Structure 1
């Protein structure tokens, strides 16, 4: 099935946009594809700084999978990253079913690696046969501390991790053969890992305080967030978060 490119060749990562951020955020940061390109570049720099060597080149291509249903040819990429979304990973809309089937194709081969974030994390869980649905604990919003497993501490290179959250759907169980990475008080499946195959997180390493605050304000105004949830989130929204730590783990995973 081939192998990853030589050490000095670019890592070709296809970002599957499973939605778009609100227009004001898209105007400032670009779509999710551009947000993840910036995140992966920071991750590559973090890995390089730790190794005292030049960063690996990241070549990001962006595919819109909701309306255009545009997908990469697996021969043309080394990794596939599934983004977050406002949609439900457990719904049966045609584009979601197509995304699940594509994810199964990636999982069925041995060369192209898979990264999932939030909705993307849930799609990977669904593609591996796990139940995805509403969390009885409700919304998890803004910066949340994680309890890391030993494997999580090893992969992320830290003892403690905090990430932005923006979800009320969860993967209920870890798929067979997957190593758990983290949990929070509201969600037991915060990270999944299979060496040289997949890494996924429920949180949003690509978010920052401004992004989470704006989405929270909009959802509160729309009546999606209860006042208590909104106020609690806004107290934590600008806390320390470790998105770049996760970005570094994503790049190291691609280089395994």
Structure 2
């Protein structure tokens, strides 16, 4: 008997920000950045798969258009991107995003992936405590402490991915399984079986992207010189973004 055809997962990328000029010139939007990540993840599978065989991607700018959300009936999953905004703020578009995320989580069919700001939005939608981390910034490639569940779900023994955050999820929401932590941030990744998978880091970032963001934030006075230099020292370190994206693919197909 031949294998059963499984149609591609309809994944809506909810863009919660606009990339900096260098990233925008190369990828267009964060939808383009995540497309690039998933292309590499699909190519790294054994055997390699073309992206369209596994995912049907769409992008939705939810900051500037409150009506940009896809009808949950027309999709199988959402991915909430990172953002320069804070997930605990009460701007109208953030409230709308939390409500939409909660609707997807509670509906039971549409799966949810959260990345950085998206991770925090999922935490907020599930009732976790989200806020500014008094321990400061996490930037560039950071080593994570994996739980046993984290090793299984992410299918790695060690994990290092790019970070770019000062906000954090402080408490693991009810029903979520902890996958990873760092000394600065205890809730680095979480998993709700059949419902959600989230990471505080940025599997989609490359060293070039992070260099541009670090330089912009240093010139803008957002990060101090010593923090900038520390980040630049680790910006080209090996990281496991593609392994995390493979875990996202498994989650979407499980």
TM over 0.5: yes
Question: In 1, Cα distance between the equivalents of 2:42 and 2:77?
Answer: 14
Question: In 2, Cα distance between the equivalents of 1:34 and 1:251?
Answer: 17
Question: In 1, Cα distance between the equivalents of 2:83 and 2:128?
Answer: 19
Instruction: Give the aligned partner of residue 211 of structure 1.
Output: 209
Question: In 1, Cα distance between the equivalents of 2:5 and 2:16?
Answer: 30
The counterpart of 2:127, out of the listed 126, 129, 141, is 129
Question: In 1, Cα distance between the equivalents of 2:90 and 2:225?
Answer: 31
Say whether the 8 Å CA contact 1:113–1:197 is kept in structure 2. yes
The number of equivalent residue pairs is: 248
Which stretches of structure 1, 4 residues or longer, exceed 2 Å deviation after superposition? 41-47, 52-57
Instruction: Give the aligned partner of residue 93 of structure 2.
Output: 95
* Matches for 1:41-52 after TM superposition, within 5 Å: 41-47=39-45, 49=46, 52=47
Instruction: Give the aligned partner of residue 79 of structure 2.
Output: 81
Instruction: Give the aligned partner of residue 58 of structure 1.
Output: 55
Say whether the 8 Å CA contact 1:117–1:202 is kept in structure 2. yes
Instruction: Give the aligned partner of residue 142 of structure 2.
Output: 144
Instruction: Give the aligned partner of residue 3 of structure 1.
Output: none
Over 3 Å counting, the alpha-carbon distance change for 1:7 and 1:46 in structure 2 is farther
Deviation at 1:196, TM superposition (A): 1.2
Say whether the 8 Å CA contact 2:42–2:48 is kept in structure 1. no
Q: Name the SS of the counterpart of 1:20 in structure 2.
A: coil
Q: TM-score, normalization: structure 2?
A: 0.95
Structure 2 gap ranges (5+): none
RMSD value, Cα: 1.2
Instruction: Give the aligned partner of residue 242 of structure 1.
Output: 240
Greater Cα offset, 245-254 or 19-28 = 19-28
Say whether the 8 Å CA contact 2:138–2:166 is kept in structure 1. yes
The counterpart of 2:167, out of the listed 166, 169, 176, is 169
Q: Name the SS of the counterpart of 1:96 in structure 2.
A: helix
